[in-house]
Amino acid sequence: MILYDPKLTAVYRDYGILLPISPSRGDKILRFLRESGVFWETFDLPGAACRLEVPEPVISRADVERVHQADFVAALYQGGSGLSAGLIEAWELRDSQGRPNRYAPDQAVKPLEDLFAQVLGQIRGTYLAARLALTGDRPPEPPGRAPGFCYYLGGGMHHGRYDHGTGFCLLNDIVIAARKLQAEHRAERLWIIDVDAHKGCGTAELVQFARARGELGPGQDLGNLSIHMAEGWPLDAETLRNAPPDRAPRIPADVEIPIAPGEEDRYAEALGTGLTELETRFPAPDLAFVVDGADPYEHDGLPSSGLLRLSLAQCMDRDRLVFRYLRDRGIPSAWIMAGGYGDRAWEPPAHFLAALADPSRPNSPADDP
């Protein structure tokens, strides 16, 4: 099934933020699926909460504090200047001299602080996607080999770090959702498979901190894999120079797969090897999150993702590989749309979902390998 809530799609220009993030990406994906004649059961967030009988608020402040530093969370919830400062840092709206960076506050038609509600909504979506996947509904699959699957057209704030936001990510929806599922004992073991172009630096930090502080219960774990550009943000020289050795982005994921420029042809093989390593080190999980960024796509519009340039076919190979890997092991999965910039960022997830829903399409992930 698909989870989508157009009301939670931030139109960044409304806040004066000048980023190439298309507000209509989810709409374009759904339109493509309709025009392709494939059917997906689709929920908005209230519909999903109602179906799952999840009471509001779905995500509480305590859920956020379970993962992020208390003072940082308090500043955000208090609003005012603390919240503004947190948002400006996360979206990098000022340079080191305090000058606007990709930011035109005089063009804003909405207060910047309103973005916080959008962020909380994205966390809610990621959590609900996981809950929907755990209900066991599925794409058309042969009986007996159809673990639950939900694709959320939102979320993926994998740069959200312990005590601050960065890389357009204020808070880390993936780890917040994962830890909430564990606290509720709906899933004890989880995997986070991050195939966004950028290293899932906040996720790696938060998982390591939770482990080091003994916050995971008996039998609980979070195994994480990140396959990403070997160079460029957040692994560029300046960001690394400013990072203490025990903080993101220096902390590696459990399975860390850097792909150097020009190595696109080895991407699928490296991902397959990484999944095998993840499985070797961590027992089969109750649920996997797949952070399915489209920014490795060669037509992505963000300059900082240009060091990895997968073709549409290679993006499909990537998604097909992860999907089959999880399906064949009976592992439910919540897919989070994550990064993707410019006018063509809708294409990789749209083609993947179309092929998944219609096994008769060529290269469908749902057909047999």
Beta carbon nearer to Zn ion, 238 or 368: 238
Number of amino acids touching Zn ion (CB under 5 A): 6
| CA quadruple 245, 248, 250, 251: dihedral sign | positive
Beta carbon nearer to Zn ion, 164 or 186: 164
Q: Strand 221-229 relative to strand 255-259: parallel, antiparallel, unpaired?
A: parallel
Beta carbon nearer to Zn ion, 5 or 292: 292
Angstrom distance (rounded) from CA 97 to CA 103: 14
Q: How far is the CB of 293 from Zn ion (least distance, A)?
A: 5
Q: From 72, 94, 157, 88, select the one nearest 120 (Cα to Cα).
A: 157
Beta carbon nearer to Zn ion, 5 or 196: 196
Using CB under 5 A as the binding rule, whether residue 339 contacts Zn ion is answered as yes
Q: How far is the CB of 222 from Zn ion (least distance, A)?
A: 20
Q: From 144, 135, 103, 121, select the one nearest 4 (Cα to Cα).
A: 121
- In the chain, DSSP finds a helix count (H) and a strand count (E) of 12, 8
Q: How far is the CB of 296 from Zn ion (least distance, A)?
A: 8
**Residue of closest CB approach to Zn ion:** 339
Cα angle for residues 116, 239, 271 (degrees, 5° grid): 85
Structure tokens at 145: 């080999």
Beta carbon nearer to Zn ion, 114 or 263: 263
Beta carbon nearer to Zn ion, 48 or 337: 337
Other C-beta atoms lying within 10 Å of the C-beta of residue 275 = 22
Residues 190-209 that bind Zn ion (CB under 5 A): 196-198
Q: How does DSSP assign 169-229, residue by residue?
A: BSS-HHHHHHHHHHHTTS-SEEEEEE-SSS--HHHHHHHHHHHHTT-S-TT-EEEEEEEEE
1-40 b/e (C-beta count within 10 Å ≥ 16 → b): bbbbbeebbbebbbbbbebebbeebbebbbebbeebebeb
Q: How far is the CB of 5 from Zn ion (least distance, A)?
A: 21
Cis (ω within 30 of 0) for the bond into 234?
Answer: yes
Q: How far is the CB of 202 from Zn ion (least distance, A)?
A: 12
Site string for Zn ion, 285-314 (x = CB under 5 A): --------x-x-------------------
Q: From 192, 217, 218, 196, select the one nearest 205 (Cα to Cα).
A: 192
Site string for Zn ion, 241-280 (x = CB under 5 A): ----------------------------------------
Angstrom distance (rounded) from CA 124 to CA 340: 20
Q: How far is the CB of 338 from Zn ion (least distance, A)?
A: 7
Terminal alpha carbon distance of the chain: 22
Beta carbon nearer to Zn ion, 235 or 331: 235
Beta carbon nearer to Zn ion, 198 or 327: 198
Residues 3-22 that bind Zn ion (CB under 5 A): none
Q: How far is the CB of 235 from Zn ion (least distance, A)?
A: 12
Cα angle for residues 287, 291, 294 (degrees, 5° grid): 145
Contact 158, 338 (CB under 8 A): yes
Q: How far is the CB of 60 from Zn ion (least distance, A)?
A: 28
Q: How far is the CB of 315 from Zn ion (least distance, A)?
A: 13
Q: How far is the CB of 216 from Zn ion (least distance, A)?
A: 26
Beta carbon nearer to Zn ion, 139 or 167: 167
Beta carbon nearer to Zn ion, 293 or 348: 293
The footprint of Zn ion (CB under 5 A) covers 196-198, 293, 295, 339
